[in-house]
Amino acid sequence: MKIAFVYDAVYPWIKGGAERRIFEIGKRLAARGHEVHLFGVRWWKGESVVERQKMILHGVCGPRKLTVRGRRSIFEAIVFSLALLPRLSAERFDVIDVSAIPFFPCFSVKLISAFKKTPVIYTWHEVWRGHWFEYLGAAGVIGKLIEAAAAKLGGTAVAVSSMTRTGLVGLGRAAELVPIVPNGVDVKEIEAVPPAEDVCDILFAGRMIRDKNLDLLLEAVAFVRKSKPDIRCVIIGDGPEKDRIERLSAELGLGNNVRFFGFLDSREVIARIKSSKVLVLPSRREGFGMIVLEAFAGGIPVITVDSPQNAAPELVDERCGLVVKAQAEAVGKAVLSLLADDAARLRMGGSAVAKARLYDWDGIVEKWLTICRQVIETKHAPL
């Protein structure tokens, strides 16, 4: 098959769940002999069309800021969507997979699909609905309307989690016509990485934005320190909240307890996860939570919080971690309970590895291919 993936952010230049998903699925499809094309912003130097991992990468426009004042740039998404039209329409594909956020490329792909009669898979990582008003204030009504319009484009909508499928049902999609193809993890690759030499108790890794709720993590560390003064927490990542979070850490007097890193390469992130005792993901909003699977594959239990827009609790159960209230004391008590019981923590780690194997990328590719073949065979997608 000749397959096109469309997303403005491209891994490894941009490191996030959606771009990592495309990269992992795409390289495995290419290794199986499929012709795989990725259409995104040209984040790399040199020619606009390059080959990587047997995939053909198309840089449809030059690099621009993905975020402005901590929010996704609307201008960047529009520029990319317009530049995409001539580049994507220049070739014929058996199927096009476009990520639904940002939404503007979905409309470009829909136009090309209608003209060339190409089946489309719209991969939804999140559905925001009411969250648009928290994100944009009164202007959130525009985001909400565009999201609703994207959900009505037809084609096959694929959700990465049950939470996202529920959101799509709220936008008018029939649940039975929204298959779930989750994100995955390379268990063998993670098992081959040795742990870092310096051990920590708590680890967080992710983009430092408000939705990651790092205030809660620091407040939980401060709570734990009352019982365990030498508690050690490592925070990996960068983003618009980094300076504020570092100041908050200092204000809470956590200078000897919390260590900050910027973005690290994936191998070093895994090494540090494996040298930790528990991974804490306090996010208010999480479309999937790939870092949870990476921790599981490393044999590390996960503590996450119960929040209406956090899909991570779909992955975490009592066998491999804890889901608690989004309160500093609740998170702190969960951390203390795992640190105090080595046997329980190691038992959870073993169950976590077993669960991670259920999400191996090779199995995810099979699920994606099954849907892809159905779409191509019918030559139209269910509404």
Terminal CA-CA length for the chain: 24
Residue with tokens 């910027």: 262
Please answer whether residues 302 and 282 qualify as being in contact, where contact means their C-beta atoms are separated by less than 8 angstroms: no
- Report the C-alpha gap between 64 and 42 in whole angstroms: 9
Which amino acid, one-letter code, is at 194? P
Distances (CA, A) of 255 to 74, 258, 262: 38, 6, 16
- Report the C-alpha gap between 96 and 157 in whole angstroms: 12
Two structure tokens written together for 41 = 């912003």
Q: Which fold has domain 2-184+360-378?
A: Rossmann fold (3.40.50)
- Nearest C-alpha neighbor of 293 from the set 277, 275, 274, 315: 315
**pLDDT for the residue 381:** 43
Please answer whether residues 62 and 44 qualify as being in contact, where contact means their C-beta atoms are separated by less than 8 angstroms: no
> Domain ranges in the chain?
2-184+360-378, 187-357
Q: Which CATH class is domain 187-357?
A: alpha beta
14, HSE (Cβ side, Cα atoms, 13 Å): 19
The residue count of the chain comes to: 383
Calculate Rg over the CA atoms of the chain: 21
- Report the C-alpha gap between 100 and 242 in whole angstroms: 27
Please answer whether residues 153 and 124 qualify as being in contact, where contact means their C-beta atoms are separated by less than 8 angstroms: no
- Report the C-alpha gap between 212 and 204 in whole angstroms: 10
Please answer whether residues 185 and 296 qualify as being in contact, where contact means their C-beta atoms are separated by less than 8 angstroms: yes
Two structure tokens written together for 2 = 């000749």
One digit per residue, the tens of pLDDT, for the chain of length 383 reads 999 999 999 999 998 889 999 999 999 999 999 999 999 999 999 999 999 999 999 999 999 888 887 778 889 999 999 999 999 999 999 999 999 988 999 999 999 999 999 999 999 999 998 888 888 888 889 999 999 999 999 889 999 999 999 999 999 999 998 999 999 999 999 999 999 999 999 999 999 999 999 999 999 999 999 999 999 999 999 988 999 999 999 999 999 999 999 889 999 999 999 999 999 999 999 999 999 999 999 999 999 999 999 999 999 999 999 999 999 999 999 999 999 999 999 999 999 999 999 999 999 999 999 999 999 888 644 44
Query: What stretches of the chain show up as alpha helix (H) in DSSP?
Result: 17-31, 74-89, 104-116, 131-136, 140-151, 162-170, 187-191, 214-227, 242-251, 266-274, 290-297, 328-339, 342-357, 361-378
**pLDDT for the residue 131:** 82
- Report the C-alpha gap between 108 and 224 in whole angstroms: 50
Give me the sign of the Cα torsion angle 315, 266, 245, 160.
negative
Please answer whether residues 76 and 8 qualify as being in contact, where contact means their C-beta atoms are separated by less than 8 angstroms: yes
Chain-centroid distance, C-alpha 139: 25
Residue 201 buriedness (CB in 10 A; 0-12 / 13-18 / 19+): buried
Two structure tokens written together for 188 = 């063998």
